[in-house]
Amino acid sequence: MFSPIKNTKLYEQVIEQIKDMIAKGILKKGDKLPSERELVDHLQVSRTSIREALRALQIMGLIECRQGEGNFISQSFEHSFFEPLSIMFMLQETNPEEIIEVRKVIEVETAAIAAKKITEEELESLEILIKAFKNSTDENDNVKIDKKFHYEIAQASRNFIILNILNAISSLIDSFIKDARKKILTDEKNREVLAMQHEEIYNALKKGDSKKAAEAMRKHLDFANEYMIK
Amino acid sequence: MFSPIKNTKLYEQVIEQIKDMIAKGILKKGDKLPSERELVDHLQVSRTSIREALRALQIMGLIECRQGEGNFISQSFEHSFFEPLSIMFMLQETNPEEIIEVRKVIEVETAAIAAKKITEEELESLEILIKAFKNSTDENDNVKIDKKFHYEIAQASRNFIILNILNAISSLIDSFIKDARKKILTDEKNREVLAMQHEEIYNALKKGDSKKAAEAMRKHLDFANEYMIK
């Protein structure tokens, strides 16, 4: 299962061995990792190196530490890219426009992919969100509904890498462009425009029309982005 | 500069404080971090927590440890997303098609953005790469030239988040679809097709035509991807 480790940069090798077990299918999503003590025995490195490796995996969101229970491989990876992305974002002195540009780059094409893969159930769920958005006048609720609408379309693309990148981008938007989503929704007229645009996207997805779905998403994001950057 | 730390999850708080210094501009790209001992003194946490935090940042590629010199904020972040992406990729039992799909999603729209921002110098550099690609019959060289061609277009988009995501995707392709790039280039005819497609992309970029650049990139990737997945 494990081989004892010899070289320098021990924590890297611990990670490599954990990765190797994942690659071989020995460790799967949700599985419990061996205890720190067991890892020390198996890999024959110091407890410090083991802990460094585990902490790094934890910070990246790839493993979870449950108090009194031990370390588990995460079930979902929503946090995995956010930490490095957010630190890099600040270091590069990136302007918020870049985040919004990335969101557009990914979501437009994702809508096109989703149009080919979306299920009846997923369409129904989008329909419910569209109605809820129209009926609610609470900005905070509408922010949540809007996020869910976009999230479900990304999910319908069946591409988990895209989904995870979009999650990270979404967290970046939330933390660096504070209240951006709320700003646009405080205006009654905007809410109507956005509701109409959501419907356009929905109709294109329902028809399985990739080109129209991409166009509708582009229009929608261009409209929303104007408020984000202001 | 630093405030002493009180709570649990100490390593997370160490990272928060380092992030805070980055956000405030106290720490910039390439800067040296305070020594482990100084961090222990300032933050009043154990050396173990400091080391855990530093290791995590190192594994994410956000800081670099230079032997005998200490820890530095990285100058570039080419590695930052690869580690979490690659582990997640294996855990999700993602199929290689998904990586290729993500690459297409991002590169097609990136070409459109690049068409609006590319400089004369960058166009010249692409021209040189196109010529080099035509004149070389060595697959290994051509793999490198091809990668550089795509990398430079991404760079011309002036969006560092996009550039870094594409780097991570490119590393994923290299490690999970081994020899994929080489496979396509062993056939003389493919090389000619690819060379022509590179020229089409270049011409659209030179004209500043976003739509054509995106179309040419889409055609190019669709052609290349057929070989990748086989």
Report the sign of the C-alpha dihedral through residues A179, A180, A185, A186, in that order.
Answer: positive
Q: Read off the tokens for B225.
A: 């991807």
Report pLDDT for A49.
Answer: 87
Token reading at B29: 């790209």
B115 touches chain A (CB under 8 A): no
Burial class (CB in 10 A: 0-12, 13-18, 19+), B105: buried
Q: Could you tell me the two tokens for A142?
A: 């509408």
Measure CB to CB from residue B84 to each of A60, A88, A99 and give the nearest one: A60
In A60-95, where does DSSP find H-type helix? 82-91
Is it true that A10-73 and A82-229 share their CATH fold? Answer: no
- Give yes or no for A9 touching B (CB within 8 A): no
A27 vs B87: CA distance, rounded Å: 11
How does pLDDT run across B8-52, given as a tens digit for each residue? 578 888 888 888 888 888 999 999 999 999 999 988 888 888 988
pLDDT value at B174 more than 80: yes
- The one-letter code for the residue type at B124 is E
CB contact under 8 A, B55 and A53: yes
Domain residue ranges in chain B: 10-73, 82-229
Whether residue B89 contacts residue B179, with contact meaning beta carbons closer than 8 Å, is answered with: no
Which chain B residues are within 8 Å of A98, Cβ to Cβ? 159-162
Residue A209 CA to residue A22 CA, distance in Å, equals 38
CATH number 1.20.120.530 given to B82-229? yes
Q: Which residues pair with B63 in a beta bridge?
A: B73
| Of residues B97, B160, B110, the one with CA closest to residue A108 | B110
Please tell me the distance in Å from B182's CA to the nearest CA on chain A: 24
Q: State percent of chain B over pLDDT 70.
A: 95
| DSSP string of A157-215, one letter each residue | TT-HHHHHHHHHHHHHHHHHSTTHHHHHHTSHHHHHHHHHHHHHHHHHHHHT-HHHHHH
Stretch (H or E) spanning B66: strand B63-66
CATH class of the region B10-73 = mainly alpha
Number of Cα atoms under 13 Å in the Cβ half of residue A63: 28
Confidence of residue B75 (pLDDT cuts 50, 70, 90): confident
Q: Which of B74, B83, B89 sits opposite A60 (nearest CB)?
A: B83
Strands (DSSP E) found in A63-135: 63-66, 70-73
Q: State how far the Cα of A204 lies from the Cα of A217, in Å rounded to an integer.
A: 10
**Which parts of chain A have pLDDT scores under 70?**
1-8, 178, 229-230
CB contact under 8 A, A88 and B98: no
DSSP letters for B78-132? TTTTHHHHHHHHHHTT--HHHHHHHHHHHHHHHHHHHHHH--HHHHHHHHHHHHH
| B160: nearest CB among A73, A92, A165 | A92
pLDDT digits (tens, 9 = 90+) for A124-138: 999 999 999 999 888
Predicted pLDDT at A5 = 53
What's the rounded Cα separation, in Å, for the pair B174 and A178? 37
User: How many interchain CB pairs under 8 A, A with B?
Assistant: 159
* pLDDT for res B5: 53
Cα separation, A149 vs A155, whole angstroms = 10
